[in-house]
Amino acid sequence: MRISFTFGADVREMQGKGASRRLRHTGKVPAILYGAREDPQALILDQQNLLTMIADERFYSSIVRLKIGERTQEAIIKDVQMHPAKNVVVHVDLQRVVENETIRIRLPIHFRGESVSPGVKTQGGVVSHMRADVEVSCLPKDLPEFLALDLSDMSLNDTKFLADIPLPAGVSIPELTQRNAPVVSIHAPRAEEPEPVAAEAAAAVPAEGAAPAVAGAPGAPGAAPAAAPGAAPAAPGAPAAAGEAKKGGEKKEAAPARKEGGKK
């Protein structure tokens, strides 16, 4: 029987919501131990010790050893309830383990060979994981640490199912009696939607603090081009645009400016 974690536990005498709340305020965690045809037993675990262990993936897929007073008890973790807003364990459920009785526990699936599979390496596919773990049934002595699934032979649009996971001797997947669910697939990447052009969006909205464009002003839509620096103002009655094309392709010269105060 593989034991990965060993930690102490105290018997919990007081039960109820109020007693559990007081325990949490003192850095303790209420827990319950059940199974093996024995009465459930209320326990107290240490919060800081528990936070260190739950960060390890093996904590959920291994047999742990509880030291309750002067006796020891092997168990598996069935449920860990966390606070919705804090990194605090609220409650733990444990199931007793008996050497000759089958246990059911969830094991993580480790995926191997993704980067070298033809579907990813040469066909540009993307790996999609539908399952990260699966429940298995076995005797305590046959319990593996994890299940491994090789993807190195997968091509684009291939899918692997629960039945494709290699199982050690004495280990079975109860879900296979009902359905063979997909576990992982390789598919073509989605086409990205075109992003809006930033220049068009900026042109539609005037800059902050800028004055609104006035019709006829230089730079406004439909405004005539500004006159060259130093050019004389156009005389009244002169053509609207000096440089307007004449017949035969010749250009009309701008009319000379009328001087004021000249000789009569």
* pLDDT the model gives residue 4: 82
Which single residue is written with the structure tokens 């076995």?
A: 138
Give pLDDT, residue 157: 95
pLDDT score, position 243 = 45
Q: What is the pLDDT of residue 79?
A: 94
Q: What pLDDT shows up at residue 263?
A: 45
Integer-rounded Cα Rg, in Å, for the chain is 39
Q: In what order do the strands lie in the sheet with 147-150?
A: 133-138, 103-112, 147-150
- Domains defined along the chain, listed by start: 3-98 (2.40.240.10), 104-187 (2.170.120.20)
In the predicted model, residues of the chain with pLDDT beneath 70 are 1, 191-264
Q: How far is CA 263 from CA 53, 59, 259, in A?
A: 108, 110, 10
Give pLDDT, residue 2: 77
- Which helix (H) or strand (E) segment holds residue 23: the answer is helix 17-25
The two structure tokens encoding residue 30 = 């209420």
Specify the pLDDT at position 251: 45
- 140, 1 Cβ separation under 8 angstroms: yes
Tens of pLDDT, residue by residue over 235-248, are 444 444 444 444 44
Query: Is the sign of the CA dihedral 180, 185, 187, 190 positive or negative?
Result: positive
pLDDT at 170: 95
Q: How far is CA 125 from CA 149, 184, 187, in A?
A: 18, 13, 5
